[in-house]
Amino acid sequence: MYQGKKITIFLTAGLPKGVREVKIDQWSGKAVCGPRNALSNIVSLPEIGQGACVYFLIGNPDEGGLLDVYVGEADGFKDRIKNHDYSKDWWQDVVVFVSQDKTLTKTGIQYLESICVERLKKSGRCNLKNGNSPSVPTVPREDISGLEIFYENLSIIMPLLGYDIFIPEKTFELKEDSTKNPIFVCKKGDNVVAKAYLLEDGKMKVAKSSTASTEETKSFQTHPYKKLRDELVKMKRLIQKGDVLVFTDDYVFDSPSAACDIILGRSASGPLEWKTKDKGLSLKDFLNNKLKD
């Protein structure tokens, strides 16, 4: 099945970080994104100011780490954002998703808000600012497939805007006989053993129950990924068992090197540290060999 998507990003003021409108071909949904200081321009758009929407308030941490994210729903974004604008001072950007044909209902946006919060908690790729987990409303069975398609497109658009907080909803199973997508291992001594897959988008998905070092080098204390490592411990995505840290669930890192840095507690070269489980071939050599095929 052909899985490509045609996506259009329109810069309303010609600025790459200004107000952007995003559409996917053959989809009735639409996203509008922009900085906080452009709120007046965003809410002036007819389809944004009024009507049902699900939205994200996003704040960038001062010193690396995960994005701060709040997920909300509204039956009129213009009135809703006035409360956030004055009562929450941590966010800098907003992304609003609407349906251009007005088919999104109040129940529909409540469903989207609920599953977005649930799946962001599952991904562990942001600091979720929602105080409570909204319950999933009762939705007609025939409407769920359409809402799940809306979510799928939403989760594709967010990384394009620079907010890579969702992960694909696919089962992660390590298969020993895979040659096209082998298991990679990162080790330190006998106790620290992490297993992972290299994903198609270049990210590294580390498997649940993989272990990481409890030790950190002196230079790692000022490393860009130090804050992320601390946040994973705080979120209990990494918990200490004996003399190692253990991943409590699968976790997707932005790159092989990012995964190694967290696992080893020091700066590391992912292409060299990750090796195939069966042949001990480095990730670098594995990728070079693929170019020769």
Check whether residue 124 and residue 23 sit in a common domain. yes
Check whether residue 229 and residue 87 sit in a common domain. no
* DSSP class per residue in 121-180: HHHT-EEE--SS-PPPPP--HHHHHHHHHHHHHHHHHHHHTT-------------TT-SS
Amino acid 120: pLDDT: 95
Check whether residue 141 and residue 209 sit in a common domain. no
Q: Which of helix, strand or coil describes residue 90?
A: coil
178 occurs within a structural domain:
no
238-283 confidence digits (pLDDT tens): 999 999 999 999 999 999 999 999 999 999 999 999 999 888 999 9
Of 198, 225, 206, 191, the residue nearest 61 (C-alpha): 225
Burial 246-269 (b: 16+ CB within 10 A, else e): ebeebbbbeebbbbbbbbbbbebe
Instruction: Tally the domains of the chain.
Output: 2
Between CA 81 and CA 72 the distance in angstroms is 10
The residue from 94, 126, 160 where one domain ends is 160
Q: In what order do the strands lie in the sheet with 244-247?
A: 211-213, 244-247, 238-241
82-139 confidence digits (pLDDT tens): 877 767 889 999 999 999 888 899 999 999 999 999 999 999 999 999 988 888 888 8
Range of the domain at 118: 7-160
166 occurs within a structural domain:
no
